[in-house]
Structure 1
Amino acid sequence: MAEEGTVLARAESDAEDRLLRADEPLSGLQLRCGGELPGTIAIPELLELVRKARRYGFRVARAVSAHDGLETVTAWAEVDPQGEGQGCVIRLRSWHATPVPVEDSAAAEGRRTLTARHLAELSAQLDAGQRVLTVVSDSPDLAEVTAAMEAGIGRPWTDFLPLEDFAHQQPLHWRLLDGARVAVPGTERAWQVALIPHMQPGFDPAGFELLLLSDEAVIEGAVVPTVPTVPLVPARRSLVGQDIAPVLKQPISRIIANAETIRTRLAGPLPDAYSEYAGEIASAGKLLLELLDDMADLEVVESEGFSTAPDRIDLSEVARQAAGILGVRAREKGIVIEAPHPSDQLRAIAEFRRVLQVLLNLIGNAIRYSPENSHIWIRLEDMGERARVIVADQGPGVSEEQQACMFEKYERLGRSGDGGTGLGLYISRSLAKAMGGELSVDSAPGQGARFMLDVPSDPQA
């Protein structure tokens, strides 16, 4: 390669890819990117270029970019290896700096929410009145409060997580509670809550996502209180749900959290390529967590003697809760979810938590496979002895051959790379049958799909 342009800066590295000396402006960029002089090269793309030149033993040259928090710098770098066991000579022949665009408040809030989700040790779904719908936690020292919340579905979350800094009684506006400090029974660590509303433009929140976070690590050797729980099935021990999932979920969650921190550049400036790599790591971690959850549910529904806890519920209310929980994900694709009107009612005999689980799966699939800027409809039908919820979308639809196998285990209809596990519909149909109902589909290629959940009607309605 012919050398062109004036050399703006020279530098030298050693066999361990440490920058020994450098001219300005490279030396200043090294320090602004968090490095030292001398010290390991702190500019990721330049470090990769130096390693490649040293590994293959010949000159390499290309444009490299870096972010120092204030500017994006692009430079043409030439790297010459100095022989086996030695470092490299680095020359910069161009230098272009542009200010980093100021991030808008919505994007900053989105990053905060994303990071909080992956650092949370307990998450719960709340209705519009801040009453608990579901709760999930794998943290050992939150076992006591998790069990209490599971047993108290339908009660305000503040009954279980009393506020430390408020003398006022509930109800308080959710914005006053976001970030509030709370006391958590069974643990001495300091905790705070994050409340994420399920918003629709022009309306009050349809529900909330509650996250419980702590800045303090688990104390080594701390005694975790044992909370008695009633097993869903008194048969054989659950291998995934009781043995494997609790062990794997925490380290996988930490991997996801760290990857998201890197991807969103919270830890410092980073080139786009490295941010994309971190995003792929986070996505793979999320798929692993989803697979663990589905495998644990699979063990439950396939256990001998599995049954649900039927109750008198309003399918209209459950449908609105599910739509509110997934509203943010839908809006990211420009999808509008049309849920039943608050004045609609359809009484049924079924377990609230299991119906919500099925609807979340159906609506989630509809969002995943529907085109951008489309619609999803949730409709109710009184079938006499059966009450029906229909989730209809404008997706690609499924053929009769696909419909015949789509409720089988691990069936993904030939899809790959979509983040699915192939267990959701199988588990959902198993839950529907356990509640004395059925889950079916009506579709044709190019005409979207209609998934129908039938459960027994409430004879006293």
Structure 2
Amino acid sequence: MEDQANILARAASDADDRLLTAEEPLASLQLRCGGELPGTIAPPELRELVRKARRYGFKLARAVCAQDGTDTVTAWVEVEPLSDGQGCELRVLSWHSAPTPIEEPAAAESRRLLTNRHLAELSAQLDAGQRLLAVSCNSAELAEIAQAMEAGLGRLWTDFLPLEDVSHQQPLHWRLLDGARVLVLGSERTWRVALIPYMQPGFDPAGFELLLLSDEPAPQEAPPPAAATVTYNCRSLVGQDLAPVLKQPIARIIANAETIRTRLAGPLPDAYSDYAGEIASAGKLLLELLDDMADLEVVESEGFSTAPDRIDLSEVARQAAGILGVRAREKRIVLEPPQPSEHLHAVAEFRRVLQVLLNLIGNAIRYSPEDSHVWIRLEDAGDRARVIVADQGAGISAEQQAVMFEKYERLGRSGDGGTGLGLYISRRLATAMGGSLSVDSAPGQGARFILEVPADLDA
């Protein structure tokens, strides 16, 4: 027989997991967590426990946690479904409340940046002068502005996203622009930007990541007319048809999973947080695969060519190192780009060289051990200009080198987040620019990837 003296509070829910009645202190917790009485159960863990008990049809009991703004509550709750299946009876057997620990500022800032990255509908890479280097967009609403920014690489980002109520001439200090509201032509939503610097303590930023965010939901997009589906022979199937449709929902899945993983929606057991992290990782891999498949279509299309220009490979290498500097520091890898005093002029497309170097440096960071070095070196070879990315990884055997530039080749690796297309695309880009991409390595001796493009002999 149930010991009535051990029950601190009783409550009842209906078939829709709405809390119909509740005794104190559960009633107050429901209200402090933003719920109503009667109303949908507000504490996430309690709502999930009730949902499972009702769905499975048998009694469940476990500890649940909730945050009501100032305190963290831990309670042992029994949930027993009613015989008619139309609701549950809840019994609270223990209750402990303690002040919520104050989060460290660095951890809070890291979580804010992580959330912003996954909520952003457009992102861009900027150089130290806040000029555009690359643009990525997953919103049909922003497709036109993204195309304009893509065509205007090298210009200030504020040329395309003017600041609201700011008359000062650019470039303003980046700290004044972080969080600033901007105007987006053709959009009725309000927008703001987040600027994330690539920097080391004591140095000026080497570049920036720009995120475009809106606190208002995106408008529902109307499906394309039926006639638009018969033109695949004239279009890029992935890049123009599939990627724009899939990127936004996948990005939302990632954002929601990261919100759950970082417990922004409330306390959560570690196991559920880990599940959410796995969902976010899988979503990121899907986005990476979409980007790679779109690039694959481009480089394999008939008549593909690049737009050669006179560039400084030293500048491109430093930009790539600045973009990936945070990732390197997370693994305690020392990334050594060319010095500002070094110059090596070449004839190639800036954006494509940057894309290749980001892939090579990213791979070096991914497959190098912690507390190691990755070097980016320049080499003048007469009518050829070379950028060499060298690491202290495990090295690559001759057999692996023979196949590593093939499509979908991952050298037997699994679970590392790669798609097996990066090196294949990079070599195709190098060839299209009149150059080459090769590797020099041996097991246990690290790897040297060599990007070679035509030198600018008139510089």
**Alignment partner for residue 372 of structure 2, among 361, 374, 378?**
374
Partner Cα distance (1:69, 1:370) in 2: 42
Distance in 2 (CA, whole Å) between partners of 1:8 and 1:57 is 24
Once the two structures are TM-superposed, the CA of residue 87 in structure 1 deviates from its matched residue by 4.0
Q: How does 1:20-419 map to 2 (within 5 A)?
A: 20-85=20-85, 87-217=87-217, 236-419=234-417
Instruction: Give the conservation status (yes or no) of the 8 Å contact 2:359–2:426.
Output: yes
Closer, same or farther: CA 20–157 of 1 in aligned 2, 3 Å: closer
Aligned twin of 1:228? none
Residue 65 of structure 1 contacts residue 75 of structure 1 at CA under 8 Å; is this kept in 2? yes
The verdict on how the C-alpha distance between 1:7 and 1:186 changes in structure 2, with shifts beyond 3 A counting, is: closer
> 2:226: which partner in 1?
none
CA distance in 2, matches of 1:15, 1:190: 39
C-alpha contact 2:45 2:267 (8 A) present in aligned 1: no
In 2, the alpha carbon distance for the partners of 1:45 and 1:148 equals 46
Alignment deviations for residues 185-228 of structure 1 (CA, whole Å, 9 cap, x no partner): 44454433222111112110001112223344556799xxxxxx
| 1:179–1:187 CA distance, 2 compared to 1 (3 A) | same
Q: Give the corresponding residue for 1:425.
A: 423
1:36-72, Cα deviation, whole Å (9 max, x unpaired): 3333433333344444444555443333333333333
Report deviation, 1:450: 2.0
Measured in 2, the distance between the counterparts of 1:15 and 1:158 equals: 52
The 1:54–1:123 alpha-carbon spacing in structure 2 relative to 1, beyond 3 Å, is closer
**Amino acid corresponding to residue 307 of structure 1 in structure 2:** S
1:39–1:334 CA distance, 2 compared to 1 (3 A): same
Contact 1:440 1:453 in 2 (8 A): yes
- 2: CA distance between counterparts of 1:312 and 1:203? 28
Structure 2 residue aligned with 1:230 = none
1:103-148 CA distances to partner (integer Å, 9 max, x unpaired)? 2222222233223223333222111111111223344443443333
Give the secondary-structure state (helix, strand or coil) at the position aligned to 2:36: coil
Scaled by the length of structure 1, what TM-score is found?
Answer: 0.88
Q: What SS is found at the alignment partner of 2:317? A: helix
Conserved in 2, the CA contact under 8 Å of 1:66 and 1:271?
no
Trace 1:435-454 onto structure 2 (pairs within 5 A).
Answer: 435-454=433-452
Q: Which amino acid aligns with 1:261?
A: T
Structure 1 stretch 44-53 or stretch 349-358: which is displaced more?
44-53
Question: Equivalent residue for 1:231?
Answer: none
What per-residue deviation string (whole Å, max 9, x for no partner) do you get for residues 307-360 of structure 1? Answer: 111112111110100011111222222222111110011111211110000011
Distance 1:50 1:145, change over 3 A: closer
Contact 2:44 2:266 in 1 (8 A): no
RMSD, matched Cα: 2.8
- Verify the 8 A CA contact 2:328 2:334 in the aligned structure 1: yes
Contact 1:206 / 1:324 at 8 angstroms: preserved in 2?
Answer: yes
**Measured at CA, do residues 46 and 350 of structure 1 come closer, stay the same or move farther in structure 2, by a change above 3 Å?**
same
**Cα gap change, 1:58/1:292 in structure 2, threshold over 3 Å: closer, same or farther?**
closer
Residues 307 and 271 of structure 1: CA distance in aligned 2, closer, same or farther (over 3 Å): same
Residues 47, 135 of structure 1: CA spacing in aligned structure 2 closer, same or farther, 3 A cutoff?
A: closer
**What is the DSSP-based 3-state SS (H/G/I as helix, E as strand, rest coil) of the residue aligned with 1:210?**
strand
In the alignment, residue 300 of structure 1 is paired with which amino acid? Answer: V
The amino acid across from 2:120 in the alignment is: A
Q: Quick check: 2:66–2:266 contact (8 Å CA) kept in 1?
A: no
Q: Which amino acid aligns with 2:290?
A: L
296-305 or 171-180, which deviates more: 171-180
Is residue 165–residue 180 contact of structure 1 (8 Å, CA) maintained in 2? no
Which whole-Å CA distance do the structure 2 matches of 1:447 and 1:30 have between them? 60
Uncovered stretches (5+) of structure 2, i.e. residues with no partner: 223-232
Instruction: Write the letter of the residue equivalent to 1:310.
Output: P
Q: Render the CA deviation track for 1:268-301: whole Å, top value 9, x for unaligned.
A: 4444444333333322222221111111100010
* TM-score with structure 2 setting the length: 0.88
1: CA distance between counterparts of 2:186 and 2:39?
Answer: 46
Give the conservation status (yes or no) of the 8 Å contact 1:338–1:378.
yes
Asked if the contact 1:63–1:74 (Cα under 8 Å) also holds between the matched residues in 2, the reply is yes
Q: Is the 8 A contact 1:69 1:269 kept in 2?
A: no
1:326 is paired with a residue whose SS is helix
Amino acid aligned to 1:276: D
Q: Read off the aligned partner of 2:68 and give its amino acid letter.
A: D
| SS class of match (1:125) | strand
Q: CA-to-partner distance for each residue in 1:2-61, whole Å, 9 max, x for gaps? A: 989933333344444443333322333333333333334333333444444445554433
Aligned-pair identity in percent equals 80
Give the SS at the match of 2:244: helix
Aligned residues: 449
CA–CA separation in structure 2 for the residues paired with 1:33 and 1:104: 23
The SS at the match of 2:6 is coil
